[in-house]
Amino acid sequence: MNDVARDRLRQTLLGEYGQLRSKLSRRLGSTERADDALQDTWLMLQGTAPIGVVLRPEPYLFRVAYNIALKRRQAERETVTLDDARAVLDLVDEMPSPERVAEARSEAVALGEVLAELSPRRREILVASRLEETPLREIATRFGLSQRMIETELKLALIHCGRRLGKNIVQRFGPKGSKSIL
């Protein structure tokens, strides 16, 4: 394409931009896609290899822009992954990964072994307090001990489990919301 023909296409694109944009918007279903296609058409005209004489510049420009939009849409379709689709649809895979399942099973086995090392009374106090969320005063009544003794037994059970499992110990006793110290 010689410079005269290129200039003529550029002038047609500028002069008929509104009409081309309107036709492309209807055909593509989006004004944004039409704008992008026309901008890419303008950029394409900057470095076009010789193609010969263009007798009807407006239909030519429309066809070029439309083809650019179709290629872009196809490229977008090809690049969408399943993860992208889930993110767009806000779907979350709530199933744990196989690695996480294996890790959780291993932790459960280790916890079971550590709990077996505790005396039956400490194990029952720990389970009642932490799993069943039984208030310490109820546990004390159940075992016929003072609440302070239950706190001591619970603390010792937690320290043992924490050390054996390599975990930090949260120094809060009783069920959630309890005002107990330590």
Instruction: Check residue 142 and give its pLDDT.
Output: 92
Sign of CA dihedral 25, 29, 32, 35: negative
SS3 167: coil
- CA 166/CA 105 separation, integer angstroms: 17
Q: Whole-model pTM above 0.75?
A: no
Q: Are 155 and 182 in contact (CB under 8 A)?
A: yes
CATH of 98-165, one of 1.10.10.10, 3.40.1360.10, 1.25.40.10, 3.60.15.10: 1.10.10.10
Q: CA angle at residue 14 from 13 to 19, to 5 degrees?
A: 70
Which amino acid is present at 48?
A: T
Nearest C-alpha neighbor of 114 from the set 163, 153, 154, 152:
163
Instruction: Check residue 138 and give its pLDDT.
Output: 94
Question: What does the pLDDT profile of the chain (182 residues) look like in tens digits?
Answer: 467 777 888 888 889 889 999 999 998 888 999 999 999 888 888 876 666 677 888 988 899 899 999 888 887 776 667 776 666 666 656 778 888 889 889 988 998 999 899 999 999 999 999 889 999 999 999 999 999 999 999 999 989 988 888 887 766 554 555 444 33
Instruction: Check residue 51 and give its pLDDT.
Output: 65
Domain ranges of the chain: 3-89, 98-165
Sign of CA dihedral 96, 98, 100, 104: positive
Instruction: Check residue 75 and give its pLDDT.
Output: 79
Instruction: Check residue 48 and give its pLDDT.
Output: 62
Instruction: Check residue 11 and give its pLDDT.
Output: 86
- CA 22/CA 42 separation, integer angstroms: 17
